[in-house]
Structure 1
């Protein structure tokens, strides 16, 4: 995958790479994708699903209402807004 493709994927994920970071990351990108694909091929049939490895179970707190951000505060760091809402790019068909 070339640097422009990686930059496009990073842009969709809203990750900023400097040119120096991209130069370091790009050569290993395909290797990382291959590693993920190998992990996806692992046969896990018959292996019990594990959600916690340290024995923690349902650490749940009671729901409480509290102070909330105003619409203006919630949107102040948004990259783009429209009609008072967050505006996002479409990334799923």
Structure 2
């Protein structure tokens, strides 16, 4: 596939990009290379190949949501450097 500089300039305008003449030549060459590679991939026979999002089959990867006992409030507050009766005290940050 051959992409023209006018096509590249059109895409650049849509993306609100200003390209110098040198950048336009460079981008045209790079986009032509990319599109040629994609065109080559299009030649592959992919019938019978299902689309995948992962290489390995994954099912639910999350652990079960099990209720477990947690620390009592006073026990947790004992670990803080500064506390009042029911919360941690932290420095004010603006």
TM-score, with length taken from structure 2? 0.43
Structure index of larger Rg = 2
